[in-house]
Amino acid sequence: MSSSPLSKKRRLSGTETKTGSHCSSSNSVRTDLSHTPANGMAKNGNDAEIDEGLYSRQLYVLGHEAMKRMQNSNVLISGMRGLGVEIAKNVILGGVRSVTVHDQGVAEWGDLSSQFYLREEDLGKNRAEVSQPRLAELNNYVPVTAYTGALTEDYLTKFQVVVLTNSTLDEQQHLGELCHSKGIKFIVADTRGLFSQLFCDFGEEMIVYDTNGEQPLSAMISMITKDNPGVVTCLDEARHGFESGDYVTFTEVQGMTELNGCQPVEIKKSISSSMDEPEFVMTDFAKFESPGQLHVGFQAIHAFQKKHNRLPAPWSQEVNSAQTGSAKIEQLDEALIKKLSFVAAGDLAPINAFIGGLAAQEVMKACTGKFMPIMQWLYFDALECLAEDEGVVLTEEECAPRNCRYDGQIAVFGTKLQDLLAKQRYFLVGAGAIGCELLKNFAMIGLACGEGEVIVTDMDTIEKSNLNRQFLFRPSDKMKSDTAAAAVKQMNPSIKITGHQNRVGPDTERIYDDDFFESLDGVANALDNVDARMYMDRRCVYYRKPLLESGTLGTKGNVQVVIPFLTESYSSSQDPPEKSIPICTLKNFPNAIEHTLQWARDEFEGLFKQSPESRTLKLPGAQPIEVLEAVYKSLVTDCPHSWADCVAWARNHWQCQYSNNIRQLLHNFPPDQVHLTSSGAPFWSGPKRCPHPLEFSTSNELHMDYIMAGANLFAQTYSLPGSNDRVGVAKILQEVKVPAFTPRSGVKIHVSDQELQNSNSSLKTQLPTPESYQYKLNPIDFEKDDDTNYHMDFIVAASNLRAENYDIPPTDRHKSKLIAGKIIPAIATTTAAVVGLVCLELIKIVQGHKKLESYKNGFMNLALPFFGFSEPIAAPKHKYYEIDWTLWDRFEVTGLQPNGEEMTLRQFLDYFKVRPHQLISLVWHHVGSCLQLTAPLFSLLCFLSE
């Protein structure tokens, strides 16, 4: 399970899209990096439909067009050590046309520290051939082939993308030139212990269709001057979000219709004010500029390896002295070279996970033109994972190979850390996408592979959409935690792991009690909601346990490390509340598809989910009583006895929502009436779109979609059989009598939420008792991912019908599911990269790092690409009675006396009397109970004790 980075309210960023006369930003740009992908059709190509059930979360990241382009790409990945298999795993999950894994080497002990598809019994076997069947299980749509021959020119021309790992500089240069000349995208990925690099050559010309993946900003406008340059005034009294250098286009402009659908126009100067109407100035039409290339990297290590066929010895200066010209550096960073020489022979799963996620995303960029490629070198190291004391140097003996599966890690950190890792007891909360990646890394680094234990809990079952990212699962699997535990046991049989199906929270504190938490060395969150995260954060603070927190949102990801007595906690900072849609906008004045989708979702909940047995309608203000009457009819007077009754109910409800209610609104506020707002503008202007009623027709597919979905859901609530016979339903509809509409007088319709709040009237009505129902109703829980249950059919139809009422452009099922289902876009590449960073922090925690600067909170956006790292925020200090304290500080009182008697209240007060100047933040009772003391309560205790 995963959730949004940085933002703790599911969304990291976003703007409320509005329709009407508006302008929006444009994202397309060309760069000179690459070549258009070679054409090709295949089983997983454009001639095949995209399996939205499998790829749904990824589709919200890439989009359908990018997915189709990716399904036309054949990818070769050379080198099946830890890094290569990580890249292959992510690319296969992504859904390219085919993947070929190449390796001419055989499995060795050092490979097992990060190659999760090799077993000890595979030693001596070809790495590609062993990995191929296990990789092929990841995605039935992607054929996976193993190849062990030479990479010749004829062979490489079969591919649109070639990825090299575990390769020599000579091979990189030779194959890079060959691929460049043939228009084949070329990527080099390499890791050396704590050091890593990534290189991309996508040719001389590549089209990037979307540089960042963000939804274009949209704002409603009130005026455009005819000056040159023109000044655009936005309607909302708020920042429009556009910046100088952005490009905008226009739709639905009245008066200056030549602007509608125009080519993107650059914003010359942006003016925004919360007091005045926001404005921006446009330039004349302009072309996008192509960004240049950036070439950086560290090739000296490859040159040395080519010459000596081995990695450098410690303190070696041969690498630089052998260079000439610009390759030779006048003054070497000897400390850096020393560290590189120490760790270069290592192979670390977390580093491979991070770089493997990035490299796989670059493969997708090469295939699709979606997002900005790396230009052209990326370098990353995690030297802060080494001992904090610069004087600590491991010996050659400590890091020598043991012919064990951890040799690649021992080469970097020695045996002491390996022993510590084996003894760790960690609690992993969640076994979704992040949870699966964490468990894979835990198994590879040897966490809990001795006396320790990993306890993973997740109450969810496995769904089809999970399989695109949660790579430990297969279609036949059931429970997440048990399946994930069994899968990583296959990767490393030594890991001690236990699966639970419990939700963390107050209800399970009898399971995860004091003894449980006291026995832990740390906690890793892999959760998808803020409440559970904050609960686990509070528990970790209470028990003083380190917490590893992370999340993803599409191509964005974040990592936060919480260290007792050192950093702030997860709950120390909170995001502002998510912007909500005003009630009056939802009910009467929608102007965007987001409004109609939320309205449709509310309709679903009100009609089919809320339990009538306990429902009390509390409508603020004098809202129209039609809502209550419709519910009353559905429960009592119009209670169905047959399928035909359900169809009749759906038809009459359609008439109420899309015709009668609109007619009533227009009766109160006629379109041609000169009804001015407080600002003097016509009532039906600006964000208020004037609606029009719809006329029902059985020949209209959308109308019939609504009837079919509504009738079937209504039947389900009464345990009546439904039907998917549209012809039969059309015949039933011919017999349905629909009462003629008569507008009501005296119906008050509030035009703003403020007016609604100021209303003195309130409608509170208790629905009839269950005894008056002819049937027991079955509440329906909304489930977005089942395409056969009519839930999304109802939402899509209800939303698009309302959009038609208000002349709002409709949207398809895919986008409707994203918005109404509040789906978090997700992709395997981001998850892998984020978890790689998490496990680097875990290694620091296990080593016992004490310095704040040793730890790194991270944020990334693979689309840009952008990577940012910072020290965690130190635990804020507060001063009471001249003493500094943080959220981690507390004073422990032993409530149980040596003779076995409990401390009395007088003894408790006397205890504080002699310590009037010590801040008490928490009192711990040894038998398990606790008392939270705030500063005022502490002062009161001191007063009482006097």
Contact 855, 871 (CB under 8 A): yes
DSSP E strands, 193-336: 195-201, 206-208, 218-224, 231-234, 247-251, 265-271, 279-285
3-state secondary structure of 226: coil
Widest CA span in the chain: 94
- Pair type for strands 556-562 and 547-553: antiparallel
* Residue 773 in tokens: 């129902």
Q: What share of the chain is helix, strand, coil (3-state, %, to 5)?
A: 40, 15, 45
What does the DSSP 8-state code read for residue 717? Answer: H
Compute the radius of gyration of the chain from its Cα atoms. Answer: 32
* Residue 64 in tokens: 């359908």
CA distance 206 to 200: 12
Contact 108, 151 (CB under 8 A): no
Contact 915, 923 (CB under 8 A): no
CA distance 498 to 191: 32
CA distance 146 to 242: 49
Instruction: Catalytic residue, from 449, 584, 839, 942: name it.
Output: 584
Phi, psi at 106, each rounded to 5°: -110, 160
Cis peptide before 229 (omega within 30 of 0): yes
Per the listing, tokens 């990580």 go with 86
Contact 127, 105 (CB under 8 A): yes
Residue type, 162: V
CA distance 686 to 709: 34
CA distance 69 to 48: 12
Residue type, 844: K
Side-chain-side CA neighbours of residue 554 (13 Å): 23
Side-chain-side CA neighbours of residue 789 (13 Å): 14
Residue 675 neighbours by CB distance under 10 Å: 13
CA angle 348, 354, 360 (to 5 degrees): 120
CA distances from 426 to 352, 417, 845 (A): 22, 16, 12
Contact 87, 165 (CB under 8 A): yes
* Residue 359 in tokens: 């490299």
CA distance 19 to 597: 14
571: left (phi over 0), alpha (psi -120 to 50) or beta: alpha
Residue type, 400: A
3-state secondary structure of 200: strand
Determine whether 584 is an active site residue.
yes
Show which residues are catalytic: 584
